[in-house]
A and B are shown apart, each in its own frame.
Chain A
Amino acid sequence: MADLYQIQDLRLSLADMTAKPLLGAAPKIEILKGLSFTIPKGSAVGIVGGSGSGKSTLGRALVRLLEPSGGTIRFDGADITHLSDAALRPLRRRFQMIFQDPMSSLNPRHRVGTIIAEPLRLHGFTDIPTRVTRALDQVGLPQAFAMRFPHELSGGQRQRVGIARAIALEPDFILADEIVSGLDVSSQAQVLNLLERLVRDLGLTLAFISHDLSVIRRLCQQTIVLHQGRIVENRPTPDLFADPLADYTQELLSAIPLPDPAQPWG
């Protein structure tokens, strides 16, 4: 299976505005400290870590919302590490992102239909209404929802709209950044099942960022554990759960409270 993403020694520094002197540039803090991994086509990869691990920064680098300060990112064979915005534009359709907070990522003044149609228009698609209809269908929302506003939907339904907007563009890759962390367990399960089905049916490649290892267990074939900007473990998911190698992975796993009073947890 070919790799969709090849990441070599990825480094990324952000300016530390809290330490900016009166004159001159702010000092840089290295968030990502040399990451190397690949994402095979058609697979779902989980990226896990605590706050400050750099997982969201990594996600934003993959879809080139941030420019790396070192290393290379290859997407489908092409080096996109330092491409300009103009050069990225034709590629943008191919990697899509779903955000953590659907309330702030969906424009409250637009109807769901418009929200899904807008990126299609930007990327020059034809027969937009058909595509909107199909996207709603694929995420299991009734067609009538096209006329609704985001605030009329539940959290799980909003997250489905976010997914519909992303898949309508027929992308190769979807980045999902903490998309179930604000949802109830039942909606969480529904959204995860939906993603699982879409990855399978549409041949999507998925990177699923989460702070919660237990939601990754079902969905992802491969799991990358980040800690303080470094990869501490990157293995097939069943192996990682059966026998976590890194200390930090063990700590993360043992900290998850299972719904089982018999679990030794002290």
Chain B
Amino acid sequence: MSALVIRDLSVRLKKGPPLLRRVPLDLAAGEVRGLVGESGAGKSMIGKAVLGILPPSVEITGGEILLEGTDLLRLPPKERRRRIGATCALIPQDPLTALNPSHRIGPQITDRLVDILGWTRPAADARARELLAEVQIADPDRVLRSYPHELSGGMRQRILIASAFAAEPRLIVADEPTTALDVTVQKQILRLIAGMQARHGTAILFVTHDLGVVSKVCQRLSVLYSGMVVEDSTVADFFAAPRHPYSAALLAATPKYTDPAAGLNPVPDAVIDAVRAEVAAFDRGAPHG
């Protein structure tokens, strides 16, 4: 069964241009799907729409977001919040701003279990300790008592991952979770996410601009240009032979140190013109919002 099905999701700036154009997306339970595109392509907008955290300047103009079969957009706001809180979690991009500087680490993991999901305090505490051990934090008790600023960037990202998995969500949105990290730390964190994902069987929407990262952690990917999905493939098919000229150009622009000529090639203007024309034709084909 699908953890998440999105049909024709359209989002735009209030009284402004569209940001997502009738986006389709299917995420099987326990699957990791990469959302790829250049900045402004709308890749993190999809995750935000699913989690109900779109900025106030943006509105959903149409479509369905089916979370385990229920359309979130048809639920009353309270019920939607409750359902998202119970089944979804976010791993945000910037470990510096993702933890509340005023609270200790322990409560930041446990309070939501206690306050919102109704766990008992001792059960939540035990769970937090268990999770920190699972993300390979050596000294969980000290870390749980620390404030965020006392910990390194890599350590904070581990805590965010632990916290995301705390309530055994069915779906996690990972929004560029390793962009702010050194490559060596990035590798550890990606392996950690992949390991946790496999053990817990969680479906992940993995937003990233890095096709290298996609090839390591995802099974499927969607390539976006200007809010339109131009390609939806399995990772194996995509890296063997991308179908859309734009996604092929994006792959050729990604650095590849083993074969320098195959990487770091700018996307040709002709490809950009073609995909822009395609977006315009798509808009004409069926207006949305």
Contacts and interface: CB of A to CB of B under 8 A. Distances in A.
Interface of A: 50-51, 155, 184-190, 192-193, 211-215, 217-218, 241, 251-261, 263, 265-266
B183 A212 contact: yes
Given A215-B264, A218-B264, 9 more contacts: A50-B185, A185-B255, A189-B265, A218-B260, A241-B258, A251-B184, A258-B212, A259-B215, A261-B216
A214 B183 CA distance: 11
Main secondary structure of the interface of A (DSSP, over half): helix
Q: Is the interface of B mostly helix, strand, loop or mixed?
A: helix
B236 to A, nearest CB: 6
Interface of B: 38-39, 153, 182-187, 190-191, 209-216, 235-236, 239, 249-251, 253-258, 260, 263-267
Nearest to B258: A258
Contact of A258 (B39, B191, B250, B256): B256
A91 to B, nearest CB: 33
Contacts of B186: 255, 257
A155 B37 CA distance: 15
A190 B239 CA distance: 22
B254 A261 contact: no
Nearest to A50: B182
A6 B257 CA distance: 29
Given A217-B255, A255-B187, A184 B38 contact: yes
A261 B215 contact: yes
A261 B183 contact: no
Q: Which of B39, B215, B249, B257 has the most chain A CB within a 10 Å cutoff?
A: B257
A180 to B, nearest CB: 10
Nearest to A191: B266
Contact of A266 (B39, B191, B235, B263): B191
A185 B182 contact: no
A135 to B, nearest CB: 21
A241 B255 CA distance: 14
A210 to B, nearest CB: 11
Contacts of A51: 153, 182
A217 B39 CA distance: 24
Given A189-B266, A214-B263, A266-B191, A255 B254 contact: no
B191 A263 contact: no
Contact of B264 (A188, A260, A266): A188
A193 B252 CA distance: 14
B183 A259 contact: no
Contacts of B254: 185, 259
Contacts of B182: 50-51, 211
Contacts of A263: 215-216
Nearest to A214: B255
B260 A186 contact: no
Given A186-B267, A189-B264, A259 B184 contact: no
Given A184-B39, A212-B183, A257 B253 contact: no
Contact of A253 (B212, B257, B260): B257
A89 to B, nearest CB: 37
B212 A256 contact: yes
A185 B223 CA distance: 14
Nearest to B153: A51
Contacts of B183: 50, 211-213, 252, 255-256
A258 B215 contact: yes
Contacts of B260: 217-218
Contacts of A265: 187, 216
18 contacts: A51-B153, A155-B39, A185-B38, A185-B254, A187-B266, A189-B266, A211-B183, A212-B255, A217-B260, A218-B263, A251-B184, A253-B257, A255-B187, A258-B256, A259-B211, A259-B251, A263-B216, A266-B191
Contacts of A212: 183, 255
Interface centre among B153, B255, B263 (most CB of A within 10 A): B255
B266 A193 contact: yes
Contacts of B251: 259
B253 A185 contact: yes
